[in-house]
A = this chain, B = another copy of it.
Amino acid sequence: MNASFHHFSQDDIAQLDRNFRRNFINTLSGFKSLSLCGTINTEGQHNLALMSNIIHIGANPPLLGLLFRPHTVPRHSLENLLATGFFTLNHVRESYLEAAHQASAKYDSEVSEFEAVGLTPQTGTLHPAPYVAEAPVQIGLAYEERHDIAANETILIVGRIVEVQVEQTALQADGYLDLDQTGTLTVAGLDAYFKPAPLGRKPYARP
């Protein structure tokens, strides 16, 4: 092993200070997808939450996954999407990063985070969940299935994409959406935001 590396065994990790371990393990997976999740509850109250545990699941049918912390405390986004069947994901750009980060605060259920942080809810005709009007990429999803992770009681929600709105100029002829042009950000760990700079696209690799 290289001397400039710090080595952690399973036991080392188990004995880490709780906050150190949370920061450390959260950065290990690498850069994470970052989106604002919009939902509506059965009383018509909007909810907005900042999410980074998002995974591409498939293109046909079009599916994304979203992982939620254990449902041992109120989880407004999770409760709303289970109750109404719909949610939205909206990319975050630098011009409203402060507002997006503020949406990660734990507001009471009577508060609309849209109002609290100063972003604009926008609903369409296909489903009731609100989009973030300021977002260059807006994705509407229908609840598809749920998987409960036995190891830590987190919940993977699989959503089927039912509507997409993207900035016209960022969409290329082959379907590639230019995330540099949309100004989409990424996050490392719990609180470190980044603006990716393009290194180019690579041709399909063959042996």
Central interface residue in A13, A33, A55, A165, by most chain B CB within 10 Å: A55
B-chain residues with CB within 8 Å of residue A27 when the two chains form the complex: 175-177, 179
B-chain residues with CB within 8 Å of residue A189 when the two chains form the complex: 176-177
> Which B residue sits closest to A108, measured CB to CB?
B207
Min CB–CB distance A192 → chain B (angstroms): 5
**A45-B186 Cα distance, complex, nearest whole Å:** 36
Interface flags, A98-111, vs B, CB<8A=1, else 0: 00011111111001
Does A137 belong to the interface (CB within 8 Å)?
A: yes
B-chain residues with CB within 8 Å of residue A60 when the two chains form the complex: 18, 21-22, 25, 152
B-chain residues with CB within 8 Å of residue A175 when the two chains form the complex: 16-17, 19-24, 27
> Which of B35, B101, B168, B200 is in CB contact (< 8 Å) with A192?
B200
Given known A57-B149, A105-B205, A179-B27, contact A165–B1 (CB-CB < 8 A): yes
Min CB–CB distance A55 → chain B (angstroms): 5
Q: Tell me whether chain A's interface is mostly helix, strand or loop, or mixed.
A: mixed
**A205-B99 Cα distance, complex, nearest whole Å:** 10
Query: Do A207 and B30 touch across chains, with their CB atoms under 8 A apart?
Result: no
Does A83 belong to the interface (CB within 8 Å)?
A: no
A-B contact pairs, 30 of them (CB 8 A): A1-B165, A2-B133, A5-B167, A9-B126, A13-B62, A13-B164, A19-B175, A22-B175, A23-B175, A25-B60, A28-B64, A29-B64, A31-B33, A32-B33, A56-B67, A57-B67, A60-B152, A63-B151, A65-B67, A65-B149, A101-B202, A103-B205, A147-B147, A151-B158, A176-B189, A176-B192, A179-B188, A179-B194, A191-B202, A193-B201
